Amino acid sequence: MRILVVEDEHDLAFAVAKGLRREGYAVDVSHDGDDALEKVMVNSYDLVCLDVNLPRMNGRALARRLRSGNIATPEGASPRILMLTALGEPEDRVAGLDDGADDYLAKPFDFSELTARIRALLRRDAGRSGAVLQSGTLKLDTRRHNATRCDAVLRLSPKEFALLHYFMSRPDEVLSQEELLEHVWDENADPFTKTVRVTVMTLRRKLEHDGLPQPIETVVGSGYRLLGAA
């Protein structure tokens, strides 16, 4: 899953981005509203962590722009918005939600609460109600950050975990290499490398289990698909 952190305090932005990358998310960072708007128009984000007090365009104005329906995004839909702000009074929260935020977290916040709210927002799009995703013999716990197949623990790298998470949130869908690159890697990824193919290959190898079919199949000319019954 790909997240844009919009925060003008550079140290805080760096700390949040670093922590989210450790959780397996692909993270881009922006320090003002205009730059954030440009990034959203170019890149496919699943969620935006949005500070309110930003230079050039504040967070509330950016949220309204994203929800207006007049912004051309790569996939035609605006990302989830988690508003982060030091303004924690009820009227501030109501204003942020009315401007288009999906959730609101007052500063200072505990990082574990931030990640819990992010997981909850991302599950809305995945159509799941809990922290544990299950598809056939695969089970992935986003809160404990572990994955199993037939109850055997899978030793996955952060990027493999993020890739499996994206597959499991969309079982039986054909996902192109371009879509995987957009949602699982950040803006520093080179689109001309074989990074997606190589990571899918290593993930498939770790998912192998005696007597069971490979859960990720290659759809020639289109991409890859996680078989929900595998």
Class of domain 2-126: alpha beta
Sign of CA dihedral 160, 191, 39, 32: positive
Please check the confidence at residue 78 and state whether its pLDDT lies above 90.
no
Compute the distance between CA of residue 75 and CA of residue 60 in angstroms, rounded to an integer.
Answer: 22
User: Among the residues of the chain, which ranges form H helices?
Assistant: 10-22, 33-42, 59-67, 90-98, 111-126, 158-169, 177-184, 195-207
Please check the confidence at residue 75 and state whether its pLDDT lies above 80.
no
Could you tell me where in the chain the CATH 1.10.10.10 domains are found?
132-226
- The structure's pTM equals 0.75
The torsion of the CA quartet 196, 190, 160, 225, rounded to 10 degrees, works out to -30
The architecture in CATH of the region 132-226 reads: Orthogonal Bundle (1.10)
Give the tens place of pLDDT for each residue, 176-223: 999 999 889 988 888 778 999 999 999 999 999 888 999 999 999 999
Beta bridge partners of 103: 82
Compute the distance between CA of residue 219 and CA of residue 140 in angstroms, rounded to an integer.
Answer: 23
Give the tens place of pLDDT for each residue, 133-163: 899 999 998 878 899 999 999 999 989 999 9
